[in-house]
């Protein structure tokens, strides 16, 4: 019995990259064949169909994001400082010329009622992210405070992911985050 000869992880990353950049509907399997160098048969044998490939690509991508997030949330003195750094890095991402929002957020908005399974899959991953913030905020907050703050952080992240498309938005975004998330103890500007 012959084993897979292509690196599944590498294929998932190429596919995720295409789906992220172009969106689910605008990414043709043809594009995937080109980006991965694989032939139709191989892809369809390994992933079933386009939805299956998308689901695995998104899952793989999100898993990595969650690992990175967990690591970031513990590597600073306080959770607040960590969250500040995360938000600032999102703003900086949005200043790059090839800015493309966030794979999960884009997918959440693009998928329609015809793909309920994928929609639920995306929602579940976004909820996982929020519960990670919640878990860490619980260390220094009551349950209800932590929940409200976690939701507020998610709201601001979503906001940045959309607002980021406006060019020249860096300063406006920073001011808005300072105003909306005062409990993050932003260093004063002098």
Q: Please state at what angle helix 79-94 crosses helix 143-163, rounded to 10 degrees.
A: 10
3 binds, among its own copies, DNA, none (CB under 5 to 8 A by kind): DNA
Contacts of 153 (CB under 8 A, 6+ apart): 83, 87, 130, 133, 181
Which among 43-51, 66-74, 119-127, 131-139 is the span making contact with DNA, rule CB under 7 A? 43-51
Tokens (6 digits) for 179: 């105003």
CA dihedral 40, 41, 45, 46 (to 10 degrees): -50
The correct pick among 21, 60, 135, 170 for binding its own copies (CB under 8 A) is 21
The correct pick among 9, 10, 40, 142 for binding DNA (CB under 7 A) is 40
Contact (CB, 8 A) for 180 and 156: yes
Which among 48-56, 89-97, 98-106, 170-178 is the span making contact with DNA, rule CB under 7 A? 48-56
Selection from 172, 143, 140 nearest residue 159 by Cα: 172
Say whether residue 114 binds DNA (CB under 7 A): no
Q: Is 138 exposed, middle or buried (CB count within 10 Å of its CB: 0-12, 13-18, 19+)?
A: middle
Contact (CB, 8 A) for 144 and 78: no
Say whether residue 161 binds DNA (CB under 7 A): no
Say whether residue 29 binds its own copies (CB under 8 A): no
173 binds, among DNA, its own copies, none (CB under 5 to 8 A by kind): its own copies
Say whether residue 141 binds its own copies (CB under 8 A): no
68 binds, among DNA, its own copies, none (CB under 5 to 8 A by kind): none
Positions touching DNA (CB under 7 A) are 1-6, 27-31, 38-42, 44-46, 49-51
């Amino acid at each position: 019995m012959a084993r897979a000869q292509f690196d599944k992880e590498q294929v998932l990353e190429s596919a995720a990259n295409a789906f992220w950049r172009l969106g689910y509907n605008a990414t043709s399997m043809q594009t995937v064949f080109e980006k991965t160098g694989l032939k139709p048969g191989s892809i369809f044998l390994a992933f079933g169909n386009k939805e299956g490939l998308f689901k695995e690509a998104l899952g793989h991508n999100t898993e990595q994001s969650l690992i990175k997030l967990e690591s970031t949330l513990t590597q600073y003195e306080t959770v607040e400082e960590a969250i500040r750094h995360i938000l600032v890095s999102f703003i900086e991402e949005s200043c790059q010329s090839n800015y493309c929002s966030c794979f999960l957020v884009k997918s959440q908005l693009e998928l329609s009622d015809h793909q309920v399974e994928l929609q639920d899959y995306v929602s579940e991953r976004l909820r996982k992210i929020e519960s990670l913030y919640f878990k860490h905020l619980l260390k220094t907050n009551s349950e209800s405070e932590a929940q409200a703050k976690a939701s507020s952080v998610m709201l601001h992240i979503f906001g940045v992911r959309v607002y980021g498309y406006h060019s020249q938005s860096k300063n406006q975004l920073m001011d808005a985050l300072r105003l909306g998330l005062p409990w993050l103890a932003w260093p004063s500007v002098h």
